Structure 1
């Protein structure tokens, strides 16, 4: 296996990542058109009282939404295929090595636990392969496209939108690192619990006490992860609504003064709402990327340890 999860992604699915990237670009290039059509319906069509203009703009809106939906469907299906292909490859590789390489009799139980845990951790790593390139490209493309569109209409509103996410760009990586540390400790502790349950020949008071401590440790780590994750979500939602309030206030004042039209304010608010999902998806991608990297390193470490002990021959996964 390559040294990093990124190396595995490119070695196993490089050409498919290119195809996923092309689909992602096609999707985010369509993302700003619904905003412009909304603005034109509110301003041009309604002010001119032209029924035909309203109908044609509505049909155009639906057509773009349909095309975007079809492309997203194809993209997600393609991602799923790439992910499952990677999961299958990881599992077949691990099971193939387990069957072909002789193992010591005195460590078979421990090796069985190790292999079972590695197999279970292969699925989230494989799932990440499908979104490793296309997801950040798609969501970043939507963010940039919408911000550029808003800046084209009114620069100060684009600055407000950017300021909404600036604190998150600083805070989120810090919180995610704390989550990653707890996730890695949780995986190691669960491995210790499983190894002790299967590998021990008898149950002593000391063993039971240690197992209970490990279970309590997993509980505390999980609660810490929940607290950090939901606290981060609370912060993101709070900043989003703050941005909407600022745009509505400033936009309403500009409309009263006659500096902008109502359609522009509608486009600004819709644009800010359209940014929220991509930003949240980027946060989730960053979380999955870092957790997958941790799990991949744990699999590498486990394989190396078993190989060194003689459980697996001097071969790499």
Structure 2
């Protein structure tokens, strides 16, 4: 198997990643344009001018929304198709090791690893293949384009929005590293359980070790949940601080006549556009780190003969 996760991803998906990336760029380009349309609709309505331009802008907004939805539909189907092909290839590679008949008996641990790969480990690893390149391109593209647009509208308020997300750069990697350690421990425990079941020719727990492992998996899962949801809580808290700052500062600028109310609406909408891709980017980073751990374990499984050395498309 390739030495790194991304070499493996390129091996099993190849040029499909380029087309997925193109769709991602198209998607964030379409989505950002709707912010300006929203701002103009609100400002035109508050000025009390003729209704026809507002109706045209509303129709344009609907068209942009439909186009965005269709591109997203195509992107999601394409990404999942690529991911499922990788899952299929991983599962097939387990059975390749037994083709032609195996003379030497396979150790129980190796059989347990094969069972774990087929039933559990292939799905998250293969699923990441579909979004490995496109997700950071899409979400980072949305972030850059929306922040750039907000800087164009009102630099001070835009810098305030950016400042809200700075603390997350510190606590997200620290908490994710803690999650990764627990993911690796959990995978090891499940492999040991599978190996014991294969060795005993059934779910037999005469010495109580399996029950101990089951409890250990439970504890690892709960630790992962606590870290993950605590991270989500802190991220949501920072977002709400951003909303509060926009309402306070934006309201002041409207009162003194420095900006129009449509700009405040655009900032609130822009913050939600930033929050979603930022959360998705953090989730992608979290999945990347966890998948690297799982891929390293998969490479170790290949050294034990549990999986074929080459994984096809």
TM-score > 0.5, shorter chain as reference: yes
Q: 1:246: which partner in 2?
A: 245
Task: Quote how far apart the aligned CAs of 1:94 are.
Answer: 1.9
Give a deviation string over 1:164-196, Cα, whole Å, max 9, x none. Answer: 111111111111110010000001011112212
Q: Aligned pair 1:60/2:60, yes or no?
A: yes
With normalisation by structure 1, the TM-score equals: 0.92
Kept in 2, the 8 Å contact 1:31–1:145? The answer is: no
Give a deviation string over 1:173-228, Cα, whole Å, max 9, x none. Answer: 111110010000001011112212331489786x21x3332222212111110110
**Once structures 1 and 2 are overlaid, which stretch shifts more, 38-47 or 125-134?**
38-47
Alignment of 1:62-211 (within 5 A): 62-100=62-100, 102-105=102-105, 107=106, 109-120=108-119, 121-200=121-200, 207-208=207-208, 210-211=209-210
Q: What secondary structure, in the 3-state scheme, does the structure 1 residue paired with 2:258 have?
A: coil
Q: Aligned pair 1:280/2:304, yes or no?
A: no
Kept in 2, the 8 Å contact 1:251–1:265? The answer is: yes
The whole-number CA distance in structure 2 between the counterparts of 1:81 and 1:123 is 13
Q: Aligned pair 1:270/2:257, yes or no?
A: no
Structure showing the higher helix proportion among its residues: 1
Kept in 1, the 8 Å contact 2:109–2:191? The answer is: no
The whole-number CA distance in structure 1 between the counterparts of 2:114 and 2:293 is 17
Kept in 1, the 8 Å contact 2:113–2:301? The answer is: yes
The whole-number CA distance in structure 1 between the counterparts of 2:60 and 2:103 is 65
Q: 1:40: which partner in 2?
A: 40
Query: Unpaired segments of 5 or more residues in structure 2?
Result: none
The whole-number CA distance in structure 1 between the counterparts of 2:36 and 2:66 is 16
Q: What secondary structure, in the 3-state scheme, does the structure 2 residue paired with 1:53 have?
A: helix
Assess, with a 3 A threshold, how the Cα gap between structure 1 residues 65 and 280 changes in structure 2: closer, same or farther.
Answer: same
The whole-number CA distance in structure 2 between the counterparts of 1:316 and 1:85 is 15
Query: Unpaired segments of 5 or more residues in structure 1?
Result: none
Q: 1:230: which partner in 2?
A: 229
The whole-number CA distance in structure 1 between the counterparts of 2:222 and 2:80 is 30
The whole-number CA distance in structure 2 between the counterparts of 1:167 and 1:215 is 36
Q: How many matched pairs?
A: 309
The whole-number CA distance in structure 2 between the counterparts of 1:96 and 1:104 is 15
The whole-number CA distance in structure 2 between the counterparts of 1:298 and 1:80 is 23
The whole-number CA distance in structure 2 between the counterparts of 1:316 and 1:77 is 26
Q: What secondary structure, in the 3-state scheme, does the structure 1 residue paired with 2:38 have?
A: helix
Kept in 2, the 8 Å contact 1:31–1:146? The answer is: no
With normalisation by structure 2, the TM-score equals: 0.93
